[in-house]
Structure 1
């Protein structure tokens, strides 16, 4: 180990771009992990979401577009468009102490909605990591149309 540390300055001097690239990647990984740990909500796998729904009777919200929702959604999910998503609404305020799981087609909008819920005081907020795509890849059931089952 001491030999590696002794030769490190020589390596950095001979390979500055590689060294700076490594530091950049390392900083990005650390920042990403720090962000994940401090965001306030937890990302679940499809299996984890299934357990949350079955064990804790979680409120499931789909923030996809209405067209995507009608093409297929997780059974029991309620549709709320991101443009109409309001964590302070009376309907959502009733679920403040319940687990709330949010998903969308890709997972991007769900993260934004989850942050808004945490900011509004919701204590148990979850997202489906990877969005509905991961649910479909796990070959879990979908419901088509407007009505949630």
Structure 2
């Protein structure tokens, strides 16, 4: 039962904030924030790499070279991240997942942010 929220998220290609933390800590997931640089600068998940959605296809491979690592895609509310998961998977990142609810869910879970 403890894994139920994570399993539900995995079925939709999205993780809860708690599931995301576990993925980062246990499997060294790479966090990619697809918001615009101005949004990213206001606060982001610690260690996140900023690759705006409109540049994802061109720049993801140069930003995240190891396609076997889990990829956690973050945006403001989760809507853009869900679209980005499809792009990432098309590029060979089989373990790409979106953060359900985006950065808002991360903040709501009282998880730390870093400002650029």
TM-score range (shorter-chain normalised) is 0.7 to 0.9
Structure 2 gaps, min length 5: 1-9
**Residue in 1 that maps onto 2:18:** 47
Query: Gaps spanning 5+ residues in structure 1: where?
Result: 1-35
Report the TM-score when normalising by structure 1: 0.66
Which secondary structure does the structure 2 equivalent of 1:126 belong to?
strand
Which of 52, 55, 66 is equivalent to 1:84?
Answer: 55
Matches of residues 42-121 of structure 1 in structure 2 within 5 Å?
42-86=13-57, 89-92=60-63, 94-121=65-92
Residue aligned with 1:86, SS: helix
TM-score, normalisation: structure 2: 0.83
1:137 has 2:84 as partner = no
**CA contact 1:61–1:102 (8 Å) conserved in 2:** yes
Q: CA RMSD in A?
A: 1.9
Q: In structure 2, what is the equivalent of residue 122 of structure 1? A: 93
| Higher strand content, 1 or 2 | 2
Structure with the larger RCO, 1 or 2 (CA within 8 Å, 6+ apart): 2
More helix by share: 1
